Amino acid sequence: MDSGLNHIIEYLKLQRGMDFCGYRLSTLQRRLSVRMSQVGALSSAAYWERLISDPAEPDRLIDVFGVNVSHFFRDPLVFEMIGQRLLPELIESKIEAGNREIRVWSAGCGGGEEAYSLAILLHQTLKKQQGSWRSYIFASDINGQALQQAAQAYYPREKFKDTRLTFLDKYFEPTDNGFAARQFLREMVQFSSDDLTSLERMSPAESIYGSFDLILCRNVLIYFDAELRERVFEKLYHALGCSGILVLGNAEVLPNQLAEKFKTIDVGCRIWRKASR
């Protein structure tokens, strides 16, 4: 590891409790170079001086390290599977068990596009049901700037390239440069800052406990090395409730030691169900 990058990672852990040791070094070095260019630091030493002298800089660098690019209904086949099959099956099983509560976690939610996409599908599914339901969608990320964007829920038009026009009309209001989520949609999602790699908590603090029916952790684990990925997979496994469903990104697969603890739902869409003991 580059000594300059190593010092920076240690400093962020000490000052903010964020541990980037298991992230891919090439990714961190590339993002560090971006931040150095943004602030005009011509050397690692110059950037180090800025990092330790500016109280806000550690948070800004964490935002750069944790950057997440997404749009609504990214990978439409995955969301079609969630909306057309997984949520109806989940609701049916809840009815049979006499349980009308649904708990969802969007882990590494970025700017909120994934979480709001889930909220739309869940709202569409539940409106077909009789009786009242309690739904909880928790969305977490380490990127403070992205979480602020998610809470504000204003998005440019290009974020909706895979969004149905009917969804756009019902769940969003047009603005000068894009669209804003309607109030009732924003109220369906609870955003919070959370370090997915930390072992201090098995789920976001706001969720109180895990036992999620559905967890989406997509295009996040690809930035971690093998050891950290395995640790996060164990965390996600324990956060899932009985027969809970895990959805990963296109380039992500379950590690061998967890394969027998899950049943494959759709390998192409990277969807697995936690096996009953």
Domain shared by 147 and 254, yes or no: yes
> Is the distance from CB of 204 to CB of 217 less than 8 angstroms?
no
* Residue 13, pLDDT score: 83
Quote the domain boundaries for residue 137: 76-274
Domain shared by 261 and 235, yes or no: yes
- Inside any domain, residue 70: no
The CATH number for 141's domain is 3.40.50.150
Find the helix packing angle between 3-16 and 44-53, rounded to 10°: 10
CB atoms within 10 A of CB 26: 9
- Inside any domain, residue 25: yes
Domain shared by 88 and 19, yes or no: no
Q: List, for residues 96-153, the tens digit of each pLDDT value.
A: 999 999 999 999 999 999 999 999 999 999 998 888 999 999 999 988 888 999 999 9
DSSP SS3 for 226: helix
Domain shared by 61 and 113, yes or no: no
Domain shared by 155 and 126, yes or no: yes
Q: Which of 65, 87, 117 is the last residue of a domain?
A: 65
What are the residue ranges in the chain where pLDDT is below 50? 1
Domain shared by 184 and 52, yes or no: no
Length of the chain: 277
In whole angstroms, give the CA distance from residue 245 to residue 258.
Answer: 14
What six digits make up the tokens of 74? 């990214």
- Report the domain count for the chain: 2
- Inside any domain, residue 71: no
Domain shared by 85 and 177, yes or no: yes
* Residue 134, pLDDT score: 94
Domain shared by 213 and 236, yes or no: yes
Q: List, for residues 174-192, the tens digit of each pLDDT value.
A: 999 899 999 999 999 999 9
Domain shared by 51 and 92, yes or no: no
- Inside any domain, residue 143: yes
Q: Give the largest Cα separation in the chain, rounded.
A: 63
What stretch of H or E contains 115? Answer: helix 113-126
- Give residue 266's region: left, alpha or beta (phi > 0; psi -120 to 50): beta
